[in-house]
């Protein structure tokens, strides 16, 4: 009889263990949760406090921001109060008291790219304040704040227990684009010569306007050796005129140029409004075909001041126009 009871007890334990093991919280997207058992009940009290986020002077956070322009924000929550909460979800916390100063973190979230950018304090502010500087445009973003503070309370058995009070909030925003496109060229000839030029915003995220850019030139068509030729501090916009003494595209009258547009925009380029070709000086009249991948120089009427140009817009209407001087030799 004793042997039979032991067998039954062993079988019961096995069945219970098998039943518990089947409570698998993993999925094809979370294999690391295989065999992890998570209690649906709160094991220790941890107060969650409401928070509000305001703009400067207590106003609402604007729904529309502009890239590279900082905005002062502030958080209002009981975590900054002198006394901590006395209960958490109905659980009394006897003799509760703060044990540490509050910790607060601000982020800018770009939901379109799924990127979080932490805000870094570079000036003296109150503990609940921060300057947020959105560095990229987005149609769907958020300013988020997370705060936590360590506290302690007494337990019935005479011991004390540490826990954390937490608070968070988000304000949905969109960010306008004020940076013109950064388009350039990749140029090749039939005999294998190549030249590449492209602008780089420098310094990045500059405000106030205008934006500035360095234009880099590489390859034999620009006479660049092992290092790039760099034309610095051009105003990024609709009159990016490179001087002939700074960089020049050197080709012959018989060359057939294969031109490819490179680069883009920091947000959304308007691909239907890109124009490139050859013109007579910066912002001068266009000579020959527009947006043709191959340009046969022998078929063109070469102007006095030939320039390779590109004109580009982003969807916000910001315009870039860049002009590269050309030297067209007879042979």
pLDDT value at residue 15:
34
Q: Which two tokens stand for residue 147?
A: 């705060």
- Average confidence (pLDDT) per 10 residues, the chain, 331 residues: 40 36 57 72 84 94 96 96 94 96 96 93 87 95 97 94 96 98 97 96 96 98 94 97 97 96 96 97 95 96 96 98 96 74
Nearest in space to 79 (alpha carbons), one of 32, 121, 46? 46
pLDDT value at residue 24:
52
Contact indicator for 308, 321 with CB cutoff of 8 Å: no
The pTM (predicted TM-score) of the whole model is 0.80
pLDDT value at residue 11:
38
pLDDT value at residue 30:
76
Nearest in space to 94 (alpha carbons), one of 176, 29, 163? 163
Alpha helical stretches, state H, the chain: 2-21
DSSP conformation class of 221: G
**Domains located in the chain, CATH noted:** 48-176 (2.60.40), 182-329 (no CATH)
């Amino acid at each position: 009889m004793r042997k039979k009871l032991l067998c039954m007890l062993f079988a019961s334990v096995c069945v219970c263990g098998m039943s518990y093991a089947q409570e698998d919280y993993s999925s094809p997207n979370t294999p690391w949760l295989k065999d992890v058992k998570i209690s649906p009940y709160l094991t220790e009290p941890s107060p969650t406090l409401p928070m509000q986020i305001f703009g400067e002077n207590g106003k609402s956070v604007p729904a529309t921001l502009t890239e590279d322009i900082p905005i002062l924000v502030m958080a209002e929550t009981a975590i900054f109060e002198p006394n901590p909460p006395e209960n958490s979800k109905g659980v009394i916390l006897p003799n509760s008291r703060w044990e540490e100063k509050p910790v607060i973190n601000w982020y800018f979230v770009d939901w379109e790219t799924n990127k979080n950018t932490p805000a870094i304090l570079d000036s003296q502010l109150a503990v609940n304040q921060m300057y947020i500087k959105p560095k990229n445009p987005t149609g769907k973003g958020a300013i988020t704040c997370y705060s936590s503070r360590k506290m302690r309370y007494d337990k019935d058995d005479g011991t004390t227990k540490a826990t954390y009070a937490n608070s968070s909030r988000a304000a949905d925003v969109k960010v306008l684009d004020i940076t013109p496109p950064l388009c350039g060229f990749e140029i090749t000839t039939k005999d294998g010569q190549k030249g590449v030029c492209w602008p780089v915003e420098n310094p990045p995220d500059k405000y106030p306007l205008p934006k500035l850019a360095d234009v880099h030139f590489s390859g034999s068509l620009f006479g660049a050796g092992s290092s790039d030729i760099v034309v610095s501090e051009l105003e990024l916009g609709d009159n990016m005129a490179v001087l002939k003494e700074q960089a020049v595209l050197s080709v012959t009258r018989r060359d057939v140029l294969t031109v490819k547009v490179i680069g883009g925009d920091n947000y959304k380029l308007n691909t239907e409004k890109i124009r490139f070709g050859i013109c007579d000086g910066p912002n001068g009249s266009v000579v020959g075909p527009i947006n043709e991948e191959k340009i046969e120089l022998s078929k063109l009427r070469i102007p006095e001041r030939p320039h390779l140009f590109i004109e580009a817009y982003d969807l916000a209407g910001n315009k870039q126009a860049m002009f590269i001087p050309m030297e067209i030799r007879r042979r």
